[in-house]
Amino acid sequence: MSKGILDHATDEAQVSMSTVGRVVIIAGILLAAINFGIEYGLDALNMSGRWAQQLKLGLFLFFMWLAVSSGLRTIDKLLPGIAVGWLLIAGMGIGLWSQAVFSLAKWAVPRFTGEEHLPLLLFLWPGLLSSLAVSLLVAVLTTITLRVESKLWSTLLRILIFGLLALLIYLWM
């Protein structure tokens, strides 16, 4: 019988996937809180539009990398031998959950201040695809770091991924 990408490598019949869910929920909520603080903290500084936008993007990428990478390393330590597919799903889950919580918080702010409120989907949709893409990229890079034993192959795979990403960006622009 072939081994699937989601098959668990250990001999345990019942692997606690609730551990994966807990890590995803906690990391997502922490990431959403940090992004919410950055969003409204930079608005309070009254920076120019372009600088504030670039700083928000840089901090978003840094904290997304930190949360997804830390979450996947935690899962790998708590459930040694967990399948690669679950690591990738958990990485994307952290990004999607944090975007959902962040959007819910942004949607709720105008309701409490008495301003005009918009539908939740208008807050959720713009950041969903970028959050998913960044979290998937970080999940793939972290999984390569955790699972590829050869340092040379690990480095070559990461260079290949960044090269393909640069090529796609170049062709898209």
Q: Using the Cα atoms of residue 12, residue 15, residue 132 and residue 49 in order, give the sign of their dihedral.
A: negative
Side chain identity at residue 157, one-letter code: L
pLDDT reading at 47 higher than 90: no
Check residues 91 and 113 and name the one with the higher pLDDT.
91
Domain boundary assignment for the chain: 18-172
Q: In this predicted structure, what is the pLDDT of residue 10?
A: 52
Q: In this predicted structure, what is the pLDDT of residue 69?
A: 96
Q: How many whole angstroms separate alpha carbon 74 and alpha carbon 26?
A: 11
Q: How many whole angstroms separate alpha carbon 91 and alpha carbon 72?
A: 7
At residue 31's C-alpha, the angle toward residues 161 and 111, to 5°, is 130
Q: How many whole angstroms separate alpha carbon 157 and alpha carbon 160?
A: 5
Q: In this predicted structure, what is the pLDDT of residue 2?
A: 46
pLDDT reading at 163 higher than 70: yes
Structure tokens given for 66: 């930190």
Picking from 114, 110, 28, the residue whose alpha carbon sits closest to that of residue 64 is 28
pLDDT reading at 14 higher than 60: no
Q: In this predicted structure, what is the pLDDT of residue 13?
A: 33
Distance in angstroms between the alpha carbons of the first and the last residue of the chain: 45
